[in-house]
Structure 1
């Protein structure tokens, strides 16, 4: 019997982007076990990806972008032996959905359309930029209509997709809990409040800096920031660690408390709570803004606090700073919740159902 073949069409190179790693890359071995074959087709190759976020070098960036569009066009002539085309977010970063249209109406292939943000909206962090103006946000609706199935990261995203397609699967972003159990670190002298995320989400961290400034007058703690880019702010109690895949869990384990502040807007409603999952998976107590799926995760897990106001953030952080045994209890509850609801093992059948 011939094995079914899947082409993963994605923005970034393999093992370089969190959204890809935790949406589908960690399920590739499960697909092989189930008898599928697959190939990966990133828009950017590794060299282009590394150059894109460096300052300057505009000509080289333009060269790689044009080359990437050309490669994407020629990919259309290589689709004949694939049964499923899994598209993560978009086939091209800007412009109309020509590739997706061709896959559906010329090749008549089954599109699995996967997204984990409210990408039909303008990202507040890109507002007014050239990138935002040429994104062609309306294509998300069209791709949903053309898809065999839509894979959405949470209920909010699924509600949007269901306006255009009945075959919508809530496929949450998940954690490989086996991997997250591997490394432990010794106790620190100071309590560590931790935050991790890509450079595009650093503005959310700024929201609670006034709260931390006030707490620093009374409590001795450290703010650990793990990101692929150094923050554009500096406070005396902050320590920055560049994100490193090889040290990811070891670095996260330096935290005692994990935080996830967000603005309360329609863009943030689409967030999939991944920071919370990372913290809870390694038994860290959490505090988060009650926005989108954050509220559900903390209420169901009992792993921490929801904080909407400055006063609530301050009291929640103070409580956890002063009570390490309570933090430990919350962390255990969070880890159990992730294992049962947001782990690769618990979600494997849902992911595989996309290809049925």
Structure 2
């Protein structure tokens, strides 16, 4: 069997790609499934995509990407399946998906991990927002042979358009990547959050809690992000996200945060932040939104915070109690290994190609 993988970004860069399917590439090889992996934009375009300005560079990168995608359409006969993560082209209508399925008659396996039919974009790319064509998700699903959804909420949406939908959760490679455990006996307590500037809005409601806590306790509030949000807090520390230091940077956390607002977009989130924390033995504090309540078991491997008072009380408890942090972290790691690891989900992922 031979498959073609189409994704928006270059290999090894975008979290959604790394933790949705790139971790299974070795498993494809081991199961006699050959693959070609062709991203839409190249590395040069990726490096400027979320930077302010540089409109001409971004536009040229997009035009070049479209030209390469159109050329690729002449060489699809050799593939049994076309696996598409999110979209075959970063902007515009689903032209390539239409050609692949409706003209060439190839079987699409469509993978998505967010409510990507809803508008959500970087502040630096407002000019491209009208070109995103969010409604194309419904068309792609209707043309797909199978769909791979990150959680039950996304699956239920997909079933409106595609009859064969598999829940394929975002998973963590606990053997080769997230393979260390946090030492909770640290001199300094670090409360941490990791993500991109597009999702940091969910953290802003917690700033009053952090402000109140830092008046009573000594800790760092560490943000790992692609850009500095410059929060006005004395405990605030910023670390720019880097792939090479990702694990070491996360291991500085004693506690990991994943607040969300209960909106339609958040319902589609796949709990990636919580999964990362927990895989490293770091207790997670999360909002009871979407899949979070399935990942975190209350008082067993973390805490589910329903209101502002919960965030304050549970954070204070974890700041003061290192044995509790250790116990919750140990159980968190166990939960990920059993239910949200690459090892536990490999057969489920491979079933997409049957």
Q: Report the equivalent of 1:246.
A: 244
Q: Distance in 2 between matches of 1:124 and 1:246?
A: 26
Q: Report the equivalent of 2:204.
A: 206
TM-score, length-normalised on structure 1? 0.95
Q: Distance in 2 between matches of 1:303 and 1:186?
A: 14
- Name the SS for the 2:137 alignment partner: helix
Q: Distance in 2 between matches of 1:345 and 1:117?
A: 23
Q: Distance in 1 between matches of 2:122 and 2:87?
A: 19
**Cα gap change, 1:237 to 1:245, in 2 (>3 Å):** same
Matches within 5 A, 1:1-356: 4-123=1-120, 129-178=126-175, 179-182=177-180, 187-299=185-297, 302-356=300-354
Q: CA deviation at 1:124?
A: 7.8
State the Cα deviation string for residues 104-132 of structure 1 (Å, max 9, x = none). 01211110100000011122877x94444
Q: Distance in 1 between matches of 2:271 and 2:95?
A: 31
User: Does the aligned pair in 2 maintain the 1:95–1:135 contact within 8 Å?
Assistant: yes
What is the CA RMSD across the aligned residues, in angstroms?
1.9
Q: CA deviation at 1:183?
A: 6.9
Q: Distance in 2 between matches of 1:44 and 1:183?
A: 35
Q: CA deviation at 1:170?
A: 0.2
Structure 1 gaps, min length 5: none
- Name the SS for the 2:170 alignment partner: coil
User: Does the aligned pair in 2 maintain the 1:119–1:140 contact within 8 Å?
Assistant: yes
Q: CA deviation at 1:56?
A: 2.4
Q: Distance in 2 between matches of 1:148 and 1:102?
A: 14
User: Does the aligned pair in 1 maintain the 2:185–2:322 contact within 8 Å?
Assistant: no
Q: Distance in 2 between matches of 1:234 and 1:45?
A: 37
State the Cα deviation string for residues 28-72 of structure 1 (Å, max 9, x = none). 000000001111111110111102122222212111111111111
User: Does the aligned pair in 1 maintain the 2:170–2:272 contact within 8 Å?
Assistant: yes
Q: Distance in 2 between matches of 1:6 and 1:292?
A: 32
Q: Distance in 1 between matches of 2:244 and 2:122?
A: 29
Tell me the matched-pair count. Answer: 353
User: Does the aligned pair in 2 maintain the 1:124–1:267 contact within 8 Å?
Assistant: no
**Cα gap change, 1:117 to 1:215, in 2 (>3 Å):** same
Q: Distance in 2 between matches of 1:247 and 1:338?
A: 21
State the Cα deviation string for residues 143-202 of structure 1 (Å, max 9, x = none). 111111100000000000011112100000000001212476684322110111122212
Q: Distance in 2 between matches of 1:320 and 1:291?
A: 22
